Amino acid sequence: MIALHAMRLCIGLLTAAALFGAPAQATTIERVVSPGGIEAWLVREPAVPLIAMQFAFRGGANQDPESKPGVAHLVAAMLDEGAGDLDAKAFQEQLDRNAVELGFRSQRDDFYGSLRMLRERKKEGIGLLRLALTAPRFDADAIERTRAQALSGLRRETTNPNDIASRLWWKTAFPAHPYGRPLNGTLESVPLIGADDMRDYARRVFTREHLKVAVVGDVDAETLKSMLDQAFGALPAKSELATVPIVKLEGVGQRLFVDLDVPQAVLSFGGAGIARKDKDFIPAFIVNHILGGGSFSSRLYREVREKRGLAYSVYSYLLPLERAALFMGGTATRADRVKETLGLIEAEIRRLAAEGPTKEELTKAKSYLKGSYALNFDTSTKIAGLLLQIQLDDLGIDYINKRNGLIDAVTLDDVRRVAKRLLDGGIFATMVGRSTDSGPKGQGG
């Protein structure tokens, strides 16, 4: 492990030195297509002896069987637990010996992977990735160990207010849809998941059909072509994905409360959002920033924290999923102030919907959103992740260069119109905390 830790420190320092502060326009993206037809976006960075790869397959937790949520989550945890002739211990030893970082995770719509390695270890890194994707072992002892860890995490979630509020929100918002199922499964479903379920998931999802790849580092296009075919060329050509229907959010107007003896009450809320490729997404992105998009100047931060001290943090964000677009947010506050806090949040949402942002708010939001974009370019891993997401969102290889211009083009009339469209539909909220006389009267929990 010493070699791997040293590699991480060295690479982190070199990458920051080479990339930090570089403007987005300085990032040259090459479209590379391998002889096998596998496409990747490449940003060359010869100054850093590192290659970072991010990739994704269409089909995440939404491909879990209805009766077995958590399959994709367990697959992600199992792919580095042995592959080919290497059992779990031997596979991990190979990763460490070659200073290779390999990781996987599943989200609602996509299954993600990441690979990071030194330039001179690319053969070994690509070989281990190929084994993980094409020949995972899913050994019984590794499954039981991983299952025990997953169940331990699920038991912790039963007393975690954030997890309780989130699970209740998704379950109520999408009661008969894959989005309503918990990503990491349930205490009932995880014990039912076996090696055959994982193999079936991998067979259906890990294919070349919907594969997206982004690479940043010291590698040229010709070398990358060979790497792509070595890593992914043996995967099946076509996916066998279950159909995931377009769905609308349910529960708008409901307020659900769960009584739990914790120091602070947790509040999660959400409503209908705007799709990523909708022409109004960029104006909606600006509107959300003004409302609660993470800066200290947001309306929610000012009203909830600065003026009244009701919360340390309060936020909102846009979540454009493949089959539903959402507007989400949350905070934590004292149990006896949660009703007041929710009332303030709703009032600010209604006010912004009715009046729209001010000219000053629009100017400040544009300045912040354009200036902060450079923070996505301070490491090769971040750049690769950004390029991957742009591919998944189908925004075009020139999006990085166009993005700030799209923000600049948004007018005051645009954000006032879109504020109403985004925020006028109402929200659905879940709250978890100690019951008090002044607290919300729940319809659930």
150 and 45 within one domain:
yes
45 and 177 within one domain:
yes
- Give, for 265, the enclosing helix (H) or strand (E): strand 265-272
Token pair for residue 316?
Answer: 């909102």
227 and 266 within one domain:
no
205 in a domain, yes or no? yes
Q: Give 240's pLDDT tier (boundaries 50, 70, 90).
A: very high
CA-nearest of 290, 268, 253 to 418 is 290
56, 59, 61, 63 alpha-carbon torsion, rounded to 10°: -150
Q: Give 14's pLDDT tier (boundaries 50, 70, 90).
A: very low
Domain that holds residue 263: 255-433
322 and 208 within one domain:
no
384 in a domain, yes or no? yes
Close Cβ partners of 176 (under 8 Å, ≥ 6 residues apart): none
How confident is the model over 409-422, as a mean pLDDT? 98
Token pair for residue 444?
Answer: 């659930």
Alpha-carbon distance 325 to 247, whole Å?
9
Look at 19-28, 106-115, 125-134, 342-351 and tell me which has the smallest mean pLDDT. 19-28
Close Cβ partners of 148 (under 8 Å, ≥ 6 residues apart): none
276 and 137 within one domain:
no
What's the burial of 68, exposed, middle or buried (CB within 10 Å: 0-12/13-18/19+)? buried
Alpha-carbon distance 140 to 146, whole Å?
10
Token pair for residue 50?
Answer: 């590192």
Close Cβ partners of 314 (under 8 Å, ≥ 6 residues apart): 292, 300, 301, 304, 305, 329, 330, 331, 341, 345
For position 378, what pLDDT does the model report? 87
Angle at 275 between CA 273 and CA 277, to 5 degrees: 155
**227 SS3 class:** helix
Q: Give 23's pLDDT tier (boundaries 50, 70, 90).
A: very low
The CATH number of residue 358's host domain is 3.30.830.10
Q: Give 26's pLDDT tier (boundaries 50, 70, 90).
A: low
For position 439, what pLDDT does the model report? 41
Q: Tens of pLDDT along 103-112?
A: 999 999 999 9
Alpha-carbon distance 175 to 11, whole Å?
45
Alpha-carbon distance 21 to 114, whole Å?
24
Q: Tens of pLDDT along 158-171?
A: 999 999 999 999 99
Boundary-marking domain end, from 176, 200, 232: 232
How confident is the model over 76-83, as a mean pLDDT? 98
Alpha-carbon distance 388 to 229, whole Å?
18
427 and 316 within one domain:
yes
206 and 342 within one domain:
no
Number of domains in the chain: 2
410 in a domain, yes or no? yes
259 and 349 within one domain:
yes
For position 101, what pLDDT does the model report? 98
Q: Is the pLDDT of residue 5 over 80?
A: no
